[in-house]
């Protein structure tokens, strides 16, 4: 994890979703410019899809940073679809437009110009916090001290441990179509005859799968 500029803070968030249970989680943490833990959080709630969980996690993190006056603030998340929706100021008809608007307002108040994309492998602390919430009640929890499992990952981040990128070789055509249906300028995945390889081409960026 690359630290933010000197004197600033970094917020990492992540969302989780179990469609069969209509259960979602959101979590994240804020670190200082040395990569040290400042505060973490997570929440469990009901949702209809994973993208909704990403925005709830982002909103919770921005509100926490605002309440604790942790500025200037850098923000990272691994949900490229959420970043694209936040960045598109013309996007007003999305079914999540209310929470998208909330996030944009909080970003303006905190002076956050943009959200940076982090690969899933570089967002493990936020992922751990979100995952922990699946076994929790439907409430918002704030952690001033990191738990043992989070501390281990924090240490690896501080030491600059790098992780290989992992991509699933077989991805459901149906699931990818559902995932990218709301994105623009996308060539949907196609199977090559006689092969199980699948291509998914995005116009200017690589989508996390």
Domain boundaries of the chain, sorted by first residue: 9-158, 167-209
With beta carbons less than 8 A apart as the criterion, state whether 35 and 157 touch.
yes
Q: What is the DSSP string of 82-149?
A: HHHHHH-TT---STTHHHHHHHHHHHHHHT----EE--GGG-HHHHHHHHHGGGS-SSEEEESS--HH
Q: Is the peptide bond before 185 cis (omega within 30 degrees of 0)?
A: no
pLDDT band at residue 206 under the 50/70/90 scheme:
very low
- Which pLDDT does position 174 carry in this prediction? 45
Domain 9-158, CATH among 3.50.50.60, 3.40.1440.60, 3.30.230.20, 3.30.420.10: 3.30.420.10
- Pick the most confident of 11-25, 97-111, 148-162, 193-207: 97-111
Cβ-based neighbour number of residue 143 at 10 Å: 16
Position 23 scores a pLDDT of 87
**Is the distance from CB of 183 to CB of 85 less than 8 angstroms?**
no
Question: pLDDT digit string (tens) for 66-124?
Answer: 999 999 999 999 999 999 999 988 777 888 999 999 999 999 999 999 999 999 888 99
pLDDT band at 166 (very low <50, low <70, confident <90, very high): low
- Note the pTM of the prediction, 2 decimals: 0.77
pLDDT of residue 39 exceeding 90, the answer is yes
pLDDT reported for residue 165: 64
* Percent of the chain clearing pLDDT 70 (strictly above): 77
pLDDT value, residue 168: 53
């Amino acid at each position: 994890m690359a630290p933010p500029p000197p004197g600033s803070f970094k917020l990492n968030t992540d969302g989780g979703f179990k469609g069969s249970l209509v259960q979602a989680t959101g979590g994240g943490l804020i670190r200082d410019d040395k990569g040290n833990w400042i505060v973490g959080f997570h929440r469990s709630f009901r949702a209809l899809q994973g993208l909704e969980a990403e925005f709830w996690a982002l909103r919770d993190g921005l509100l926490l940073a605002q309440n604790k006056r942790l500025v200037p603030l850098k923000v990272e998340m691994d949900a490229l679809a959420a970043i694209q929706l936040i960045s598109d100021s013309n996007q007003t008809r999305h079914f999540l437009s209310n929470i998208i608007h909330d996030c944009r307002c909080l970003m303006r108040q905190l002076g956050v110009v943009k959200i940076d994309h982090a690969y899933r492998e570089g967002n493990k602390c936020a992922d751990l916090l979100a995952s922990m919430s699946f076994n929790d009640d439907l409430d918002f929890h704030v952690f001033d001290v990191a738990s043992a499992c989070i501390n281990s990952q924090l240490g690896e981040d501080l030491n600059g441990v790098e992780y290989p990128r992992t991509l699933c070789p077989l991805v459901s055509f149906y699931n990818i179509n559902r995932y990218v249906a709301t994105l623009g300028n996308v060539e949907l995945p196609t199977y090559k005859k006689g092969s199980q390889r699948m291509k998914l081409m995005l116009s200017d960026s690589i989508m996390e799968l």
